Amino acid sequence: MKKVLFISLFALFSSLLIAQDVVFENETKDYSEVDENGPNLKKYNHGYFSYGFVLGENLTGANINYGSSGFTEFGFRYKLKFNQYLSAGYSFSARFQFNSIMQEVGKLIPDATLNRKENLNFNSLGGDLYLRINFSKRRGNMIGFYMDMGARADYIYKMLHQTKNTENGIKSKIKKHGYDFNIPYTYGPVFRLGKNQYALTATYRYSNYFKNTANLPELPRILLGIEFGIF
48 touches 95 (CB < 8 A) = no
pLDDT above 90 covers a percentage of the chain that reads: 78
> What's the confidence (pLDDT) of residue 128?
98
Is residue 219 helix, strand or coil? coil
Statement to judge: residues 7 and 103 lie in one domain: no
pLDDT tens profile 189-206: 999 999 999 999 999 999
Selection from 121, 104, 129 nearest residue 156 by Cα: 121
Asked if residue 139 has pLDDT above 80, the reply is yes
pLDDT of 163 over the 50 cut: yes
Smallest CA-to-CA distance from 150 within 204, 96, 97, 200 is with 204
**Whether residue 58 is found in the same domain as residue 119:** yes
Domain match, 8 and 118 both = no
Reported as a pLDDT band with limits 50, 70 and 90, residue 231 is confident
Per-residue confidence (pLDDT) for residue 8, from 0 to 100: 47
Number of domains in the chain: 2
Residues 42 and 140 both lie in one domain: yes
The pLDDT assigned to 26 comes to 41
Amino acid at 51: Y
Q: Indicate whether 118 and 201 sit together in one domain.
A: yes
Same-domain status, 116 and 185: yes
Do residues 46 and 7 both lie within one domain?
no
Q: Are residues 17 and 81 in the same domain?
A: no
Does residue 211 share a domain with residue 140? yes
Parent domain of 16 = 1-33
25: pLDDT strictly greater than 60: no
Region 124-138 average pLDDT = 94
Q: What is the mean pLDDT of the chain?
A: 88
Coarse DSSP helix, strand, coil percentages of the chain, rounded to the nearest 5 percent: 15, 50, 30
